[in-house]
Amino acid sequence: MHLSDDFVHKEAILQPSPKIQIVDNRFTIQSSDQSRRMLVELNTFTTQSTSKKFINAELEEGYNTLMEIKRLRKDGIKAAPNYKWKLFRTTPNDTLYKYQWNHSIIELPQAWDFTTGSSAVTVAIPDTGVLLGHPDLEDKLVPGYDFVGSRYTELDNDRGIDSNPNDPGDQLPGGSSFHGTHVAGIIAAQSNNNEGIAGVSWNTSIMPLRALGKGGSGTEYDIEQAIRYAAGLPNDSGTVPAYPADIINLSLGGGAFSQGTQILMDQVRDKGIIIVAASGNENTNIPMFPASLDSVISVGAIDINKRLASYSNYGDYLDVVAPGGDNTPDINGDGDPDGIISTMGNDSSDTRLQLEYSYNYAMGTSMAAPHVAGIISLMKAVNPNLTPDDVDNLLTRGKMTHDLGDKGRDDKFGYGLINAKKAVLAASSLYNGEDEPLPVAPPLLVANPKSLNFGVNTTSTILSLSNWGDGELEIIDISDDSDGILFVDGDGLGDYNIIVDRDLLSFGTYTATITITSNVNVVRVPVILQVNNNSDTNGDAGLHYILLVEPGTLEPIQEIQTEVDNGSYNFRFNNVQAGEYIIAAGSDSNNDGFICDEGEACGTFSTIYQPTTISAKKSRSDIDFSTGFNVFYQSQAVGKEVTSPKRGFARLSKKHKLIK
C-alpha cells in the first residue's frame, strides 16, 4: 500500500473471515453477505497522524485510511484499500497536446499508464518567477518567494525581497521571456483539462521562486537564497516553506565555479532533495555551473531527430539528455516549429493593456532540464522514499534512459535520453524491494520523427530507426513511392540521411511515403516538400539589422544592415573593443527604431529567451543563430492589466533610448 496510490478514502475491502463481526464500531459493513469480499466504511481513525505534517487535508485522510487498514490487519482481518481503477489514459485532451512531440519521444504516455504524479511531490523552480494567474498553472502552485533584491534587476516595483514570486516580465526583445512560467508548464501544467498543454506530471506541485530579474539575469547570492528557501534552510526571507521541495530545477547558470555554491548543493542533497540543472547553450564542452557541480544532475538537449541540439553543451560532466527543441525547422510537418511549447505570457505589444496568458515555443537546455525534473517527480510519486543516491544509481545503470550515441555513457548524450516509462518502473521496483531487470518488452521498430517536412529550402534531414523494446529486430526492407525525388541513405538501425532532389520538379507541393519493414512491424513515414515559384524569395524575412549590444544597458554598439543571401544573413563586426556583448538580429517592419517588436523577425545568439554573452577576446566564426516570428496561442482566460513597455533592441542607425 502506497500513499501515492489512487484509492477511496475512509473505505476498505475485507476478505471473508470469522474474525469479522457484524457489529464493529471501527467500520460499517455495506453488505451482510459474509461469503464474499465486503465493502466497509471506516467510522473512526483509531490511529491519528498527529506527529506528521501533510501538505493538505486530503493527503492526511489518505494516510489515516492506510493506517486504519494496517491496524485491522494486525487484528487478523484481511483488509485492503478500495483502489480506483480507470481506463488507460495515454492521450490527454489538452488542446495543444498535438504539438507536444517531446512527450512521445521519451515515452511519457506509457509512463502515465502507471502514474500521473502526486500533489505530495513538489518541484521548486528558482527562475524569473511564475505567472501565478495562468489558468494552466494557478491550481498547481504552493507558496513561494521573490528573492530578487538588486535595484538594477528587480522590475516588480517592490523594493527588496518579498513573498510574491509572480513574474513581472524581464524586458527581453520581442516581449518578456516568462522563462520560469515556461519551465513550470513543462513540468506540471494542469493536464487533461481541455486547455493548453499537458505537463510531464499531471499532479506534481510547483514552488515558484523568483531569483532572476531584468534580462533574465540574476546574482549568485539571490539564486542561493532561493535554493536555500526551497530546501528549508535558513535564508534572507527569515522563513521557510511548510514542506521543503523534493526536487529543485535550475534552468540557469554561468561560467564561474563557486565553492560556496558547491557546499550549498551538497547540503541540499544531504537533505534528500534531488537537484536538476541545464548544461548550457554555448555548444561547448567547457563546464557551466551549477550543472557541472557534484550533487547535481546535468541535462543536455536533443532535437526532434534525437540528435544533440546545435546549441547544447556537452562534456564529461553531462549526465543525461532530454528534449530541448529547435524553433527553426518544422520537421514533423505539424505547421509549427519543432521547439518546446509550454505556458507563457504575452506582453509584447506597445498598445496592449492586458497581459495575455498564452502558450509559445522555446528551445534550450532550460527546456530539457524540466523534462528530467518532471519525470523524477513521477518516480517520487511511486516511490516516496527515492533519494538522490537512488536516482544516481538507476541513471548510471541505464534504468532511466534510452541509450544514444556510443554504447553506454558518452560525452554527447551522457547516459542517454531520459525515458519516463523505464524510470517510473525502475523507481517502483526499487520501492517494492526488487532489484531485477525491467520486464522484457517485445521488440518494436520506431521511426523518429514520425513525419518529415522539407519545406521550401531543406534538402536533407535525418530519420532515426530504433528498437524501443528488447529482443532481436531486423530491418528487412526500406522503400519509398517518390519516383526518384527521395534518396534514403542508411542501413539497419540508426540514423538515415534522407535527401530530396527538386531539380526536375515544377512549382507545387509534393508528398511521398517512406516504408520501413522489419521482422516485427512496418512503419510508414509521410513526407512533404514544396517547390517555390522562381519569383519567390528563398528564406527571405526582409531587411535585417544585426546588432552588437552591451548586455547591461541593452544599448547598441555596432549595427549591420543586410539582405538575405541564399537563405542566410551574413555579418561581420570589425574593430570590436574587448568586453562582453550580446548579438541580436531582426527586422523593423514599422520603422520605429526598434527590432523585435511583435510581428517582426527576432533572434539572439544562442537562443531568443537565453541570449549568450560573448567575450570579445579573439576572432570567432561560430556565431550562428536563427531569427523567427513568435507563435502565440492565447489562453481562454485574460491576464492581469499591465502597462507594457516598448520591447526589443534599439537600432544604432535610428537610435532611441530603450524605454524601461
Strands 580-586 and 544-549: antiparallel
The single-letter code of the amino acid at 625 is F
Q: How far apart are the first and last CA of the chain?
A: 56
Residues 6+ apart with CB under 8 A from 67: 45, 47, 49
The Cα 118–Cα 378 span in angstroms is 7
Q: Which of 2, 103, 134, 179 is catalytic?
A: 179
Is 371 among the catalytic positions? Answer: no
Nearest to 274 by CA among 424, 123, 408: 123
The Cα 491–Cα 552 span in angstroms is 51
The Cα 408–Cα 401 span in angstroms is 10
Residue 33 half-sphere exposure, CB side, CA atoms within 13 Å? 4
The Cα 436–Cα 382 span in angstroms is 17
What kind and span of H or E run contains 429?
Answer: helix 420-431
The Cα 613–Cα 279 span in angstroms is 16
Is 127 among the catalytic positions? Answer: yes
| Angle, CA 42 vertex, CA 37 and CA 47 arms, to 5° | 120
The Cα 325–Cα 336 span in angstroms is 12
The Cα 420–Cα 371 span in angstroms is 9
Q: Are 282 and 364 in contact (CB under 8 A)?
A: no
Residues 6+ apart with CB under 8 A from 574: none
CA dihedral 497, 503, 509, 510 (to 10 degrees): -50
Bridge partners for 464 per DSSP: 448, 495
Residue found by looking up cell 554527447 in the block:
412
Residue 406 grid coordinates: 556510443
Q: Are 197 and 97 in contact (CB under 8 A)?
A: yes
Residue by residue, DSSP assigns 66-131 as HHHHHHHHHTT--EEEEE-------S---TTGGG-HHHHTTTHHHHHTT----TT-EEEEEEB-B-
Q: How far is CA 74 from CA 41, 70, 131, 385, 447, in A?
A: 18, 6, 49, 24, 53
Is 295 among the catalytic positions? Answer: no
Question: What is the DSSP code (8-state) at residue 381?
Answer: H
Give Cα 493 to chain centroid, integer Å: 28
Residue by residue, DSSP assigns 503-558 as TTPPSEEEEEEEEEEESS-EEEEEEEEEE--TTS-SS----EEEEEE-TTT--EEE
Collapsing DSSP to helix, strand or coil, 391 comes out as helix
Q: Which of 103, 118, 127, 626 is catalytic?
A: 127
Q: Which of 118, 295, 366, 644 is catalytic?
A: 366
Q: Are 206 and 370 in contact (CB under 8 A)?
A: no
Residue 131 grid coordinates: 505567472
Bridge partners for 141 per DSSP: 206
Nearest to 90 by CA among 198, 214, 16, 240: 198
Which alpha helices (H) appear in 232-285, and where do they start and end?
259-270
Catalytic positions, written as ranges: 127, 179, 366
